[in-house]
């Protein structure tokens, strides 16, 4: 069963696709059936710049997604506040 719950976030960063690096401005996050990952359901994140084809897609198991969130928090928590912009 799918929830069809989708979240969007405005982001600033870069991603590397088939034609090289490009600016990212949107992250779409949803929990659904994966296209490639070997799992029944995954947390899927699509990073994009809004143009067709300029997309970096990630499919993570729930456990992997939680570990990634914790790793991000640990990494950001160790950075001096004045460097976080």
pLDDT at 1 over 90: no
pLDDT at 56 over 90: yes
Indicate whether 24 belongs to any domain. yes
Is position 45 within any domain? yes
Structural domain of residue 73, as residue ranges?
6-78
C-alpha neighbours within 13 Å on the C-beta side of residue 61: 6
The total number of structural domains that make up the chain: 1
Q: How many CA atoms does the CB half-sphere of 35 hold within 13 Å?
A: 7
The residues pairing with 17 across neighbouring beta strands, listed in sequence order, are 20
Examine residue 84 and state whether it is found in any structural domain, yes or no.
Answer: no
Strand partners, 43: 31, 60
In this predicted model, which residue has the larger pLDDT, 77 or 18? 77
- Banded pLDDT at 50 (limits 50, 70, 90): confident
Q: What is the mean pLDDT of the chain?
A: 93
Give me the residue label for tokens 């990212």.
24
85 domain-assigned: no
33 occurs within a structural domain = yes
How far is the C-alpha of 78 from the C-alpha of 63, rounded, in Å? 23
Asked if the structure places residue 1 within a domain, the reply is no
């Amino acid at each position: 069963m799918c929830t069809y719950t989708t979240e969007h976030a405005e982001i600033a960063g870069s991603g590397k696709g088939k034609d090289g690096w490009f600016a990212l401005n949107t992250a779409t996050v949803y929990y659904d059936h994966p296209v490639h990952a070997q799992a029944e359901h995954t947390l899927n994140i699509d990073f994009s710049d809004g143009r067709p084809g300029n997309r970096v897609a990630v499919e993570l198991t729930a456990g992997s997604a939680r570990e990634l969130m914790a790793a991000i928090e640990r990494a950001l928590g160790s950075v001096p506040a004045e460097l976080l912009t």
